[in-house]
Each structure stands twice: as C-alpha cells, then as structure tokens.
C-alpha cells in the first residue's frame, strides 16, 4: 500500500511492495497517487523486480562509469578529475546506489552553491546524473535516477566578452610574440595559440593537442581526432591561420605543433593577464576562452549557420548561439 506525505508545497509518494521500495515527489497529491498506482500495477504484473541484492555503492557506480562509459568521451580526463572530487566531498558516496536520496543530492547542491557558480554546480549535476542514468538504464542497479528530482539552479546569462584586435595585440606582445621572430618560449607558444584560436574558433586544448600529422597546410585544414563532444572534425584554415601555423618550427623528435603543456598555457595566460591588467584594468576579465566567442562572431559573417556549426564543432544551433555575440551596432552596419 502506498503512503503519501506532504512536504512544504510538494507531495511525496512512497511504495514498498514485494521487496521494492521507491519514492518520488510531485506538485499535487493526484499526480503522486497516479504514479504510485501505476508502479504497484507494474510490480503486480512482474514488470518490476527488486534490486535489493545489488550491493553497489555510488562510489562503485562512479568507478564503473569511468571504466566503461567515460573512456570514449573527449572530456574523459575532466570526468576523472570531477569524480575524484566527488569522492572527496560527497558524504554519501559510500551509500548503496539504490539508497541515495534526492534530498542528499540537494543538500550537497546547496553546499556547493556557497562556494562556486551555478554553472559549475550544474555541470557537476550533469555528470552525477549521467552516472545514475547508466546505472538505471544499462546496469539495472536502480529503478530511477534521483538527480531528476533535484531542482537545478538557474545558470547565469552566457558570457559576452569579445576580443578586439587591439587587445589581442597587447596580449601577444606581453607574451613575447613579435611579428616575425622565432617561436621558442612557452609564452610565445601561448600567444600564437591565442591568435590561432581567434582565427579558427578552436578550443585551447584542441590547439595545444594538435600534432603535425593532422595539419595539412597545402590543403588549408587541420584534423581534430576527438573534440570535447567526442566527435572528430576538420577545421578549415584561413590564410591568416596558415601563416600563424607556418611560424611554428618542426623538429624530428617532436610530433606536437605546440610543445608545451596545457597547464603551463593556463598558468602563463593568467600570470601575464594579471601583469597587463595593472596598467589596463579592462584586461582583468579577459579569458583565453573568450577567443572562441570572438572567432564564432567573426566567422558568422563569412559562413552560413550549418557551415559555422561544423567548423566550430557544435551539433546544434542552440549551442552555437552561446558563442555568437555580434552587437546590434555591428548588425546595423551590415544592413546598408
């Protein structure tokens, strides 16, 4: 027999039958009764089984996800880092995965919101939900995904920072890049990577990970074997992009175009930006990734939306719009 309890403005239905225990919250009691009645009917018909013998913890599910699901993704290393963080911060990772409650996840969400932005929390919830989802749909360890019952915090408006040519030139110079000198230092590689990002819309990791065998300057494109979403793509190169890549030297025993660690690029960017911002405060909020906004906006004037999405590496136009930041004044100038 199902039980119903009112908690604040919601109704929670709980079903305990034939070894199966499930609960879910709804806005009205009628919705709760409908759900519970349907579940009990499925149990009676043998369409639901008890998962009480599945002795897997949330930590086990995270490990399984990394081993069997995440490895094929472009963001596998990020997943590993975040799951390591989850294990150190979530006090319920040792709980049997079937016993993890939405309330525990919501409590963790609220704690995180005190320290980080809503966008960070939502990204973490996406990963946590993915773990529960595969445990439910594929491994059959649980009946439902508890993250689905957790309210997501509202993301802030998309970032709109652009990179004018003047600012790009200032950063390149501050990083030690000259017009025609050799590229030898990590700072100079960072500067060239930034300029290439503005020209192509490539992500920092994609640029730093580029190897010479994937660069085809005579055909004006380079190949990315696996991007953030796991897809491979070919990036067309403008004359300017070809000129930038041509400045890089090739050595026999170095397959990378940019022989520098991405962590070093991050650190050097922040260091030089801080130094520049002492005299030019407007640089304080300039991120390397803002190059993607600038590139997408510039390229939109040359490519149709499908070609642009293919070049930038987005599967849908909605994602592409996050990086398209053309102002009303710029649009007006194109009308005449």
Catalytic residues: 203, 228, 314, 323
CB atoms inside a 10 Å sphere around CB 136: 20
Residue 326 has which token pair? 């053309």
Burial degree of 87 (CB within 10 A; 0-12, 13-18, 19+): middle
Would you say 211 and 256 are in contact if contact means Cβ atoms under 8 Å apart?
A: yes
């Amino acid at each position: 027999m199902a039980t119903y309890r009112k908690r604040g403005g919601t109704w929670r239905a709980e079903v305990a039958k034939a070894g199966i225990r499930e609960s879910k919250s709804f806005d009205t009691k009628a919705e709760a009764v409908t759900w519970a009645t349907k579940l009990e009917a499925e149990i009676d018909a043998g369409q639901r089984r008890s998962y009480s013998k599945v002795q897997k913890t949330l930590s086990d599910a995270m490990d399984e996800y990394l081993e069997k699901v995440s490895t094929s993704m472009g963001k596998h290393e990020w997943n590993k880092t975040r799951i390591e963080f989850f294990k150190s911060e979530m006090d319920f990772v040792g709980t049997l995965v079937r016993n993890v409650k939405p309330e525990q996840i919501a409590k963790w969400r609220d704690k995180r919101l005190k320290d980080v932005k809503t966008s960070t929390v939502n990204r973490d919830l996406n990963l946590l939900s993915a773990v529960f989802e595969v445990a439910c749909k594929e491994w059959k360890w649980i009946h439902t995904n508890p993250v689905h019952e957790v309210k997501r915090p509202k993301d802030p408006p998309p970032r709109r920072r652009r990179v004018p040519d003047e600012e790009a030139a200032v950063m390149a110079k501050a990083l030690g890049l000259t017009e025609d000198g050799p590229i030898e230092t990590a700072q100079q590689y960072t500067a060239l990577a930034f300029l290439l990002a503005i020209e192509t819309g490539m992500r920092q990791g994609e640029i730093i990970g580029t190897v010479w065998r994937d660069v085809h300057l005579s055909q004006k494109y380079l190949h990315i074997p696996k991007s953030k979403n796991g897809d491979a793509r070919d990036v067309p190169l403008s004359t300017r992009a070809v000129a930038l890549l041509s400045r890089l030297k090739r050595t026999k025993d170095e397959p990378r175009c940019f022989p520098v660690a991405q962590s070093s690029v991050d650190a050097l960017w922040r260091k030089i930006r801080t130094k520049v911002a002492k005299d030019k405060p407007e640089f304080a909020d300039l991120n390397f990734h803002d190059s993607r906004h600038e590139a997408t906006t510039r390229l939109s004037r040359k490519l149709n939306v499908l070609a642009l999405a293919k070049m930038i590496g987005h599967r849908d136009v909605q994602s592409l719009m996050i990086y398209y930041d053309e102002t009303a004044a710029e649009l007006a100038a194109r009308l005449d």
